[in-house]
Amino acid sequence: AMQVFIFGLFGFESAASLFPIVENASKNIPKALAYAISIVGLLYILFVGSIILAIPSEIFTRPDLPITEALAQVLRFGTWILPFINIAIVSAISGVLHSMIWSSGSLTFSLLKNMKSSWIQSLVKQNIINSRTSVLIVGIPIILCHLPSPNFGLVFPFVAAAIIIAYILTMGALLQSKYNKSAITYIGFLTAIIILFSAFAGIYEQTMGLF
C-alpha cells in the first residue's frame, strides 16, 4: 500500500522545471511545494480515513478490488457518482505519469547534452535530440514493456525505483557539498533508501506473480 501512496506524491519533484519561469523561484517554489504537499497529504489522510470508516473491511475480499466496486456495495443512493470517481482516479494517475515522463525526458535531454559522444552531440546540434524527442526516448520503452503482457501492478514499483534512485544520487551529491551536515539531507537519504527497498519488494512480488 505504501508504494501507491508514495506514487501519488510523485510529481512534486517536477516542480523543479518551474525554476526558469517563476519569479523569485528560490523563494516561491519551495514555499509552494510545502503548501501543496501539506494540502495533498491532508486530503490523502481524509480520503483514506473516510474509506476506512465508510466501508466494512469484509467487503475487501481481494487485493485488486476497485474502490468503486466496494463503494457500490455500501451506497444505497448516489451510485451515479461512481463513474466520476473512476474518471478522477484515471486522471490522477495519468497526471502523475504525464509529469514524471516529461520530467524524466528533461533529465534525459540534459544527460545527452553533456555526453562526450560526438555522434550524440551531432544529433543534438541537428535538433534531432531535443526536449520533445527525449520524452519519446523515455515514453516508448515504457509502452513497449507493457505491450506483451500488461501488468499495471509493476507501474508503481518501477516508477518508484527509478525516481528514488535519482533521489539517492542527488542526496549523495549533497553529502559531498556544504549541506553534508544538514539533518534534512541525512533524513532524506535514509527515507529514500527505505522507499527503494519497498519498490524492489513490490517489483519482486509482482514478478513472482507472473510465474
Query: Residue length, the chain?
Result: 211
pLDDT value of position 145? 66
The set of cell numbers assigned to 30 is: 519551495
Residue 148's pLDDT is what? Answer: 64
pLDDT of residue 76: 75
* CA count, 13 A, side-chain hemisphere, 197: 5
118 Cβ contact list (under 8 Å, min separation 6): none
Query: Per the structure block, which three cell numbers stand in for 100?
Result: 514524471
Averaged pLDDT, groups of 10, the chain, 211 residues long = 60 65 80 83 85 83 78 78 83 75 78 84 87 83 68 68 73 70 75 80 71 54
DSSP at 209: T
The pLDDT of residue 155 is 67
Contact 144, 155 (CB under 8 A): no
Cα separation, 25 vs 14, whole angstroms: 14
Question: Cell numbers of 120, please?
Answer: 550524440
Q: For residue 3, what pLDDT is reported?
A: 59
- pTM (2 d.p.): 0.56
**How many helices (H) does the chain have, and how many strands (E)?**
8, 0
Q: What whole-number distance in Å separates Cα of residue 28 and Cα of residue 10?
A: 20
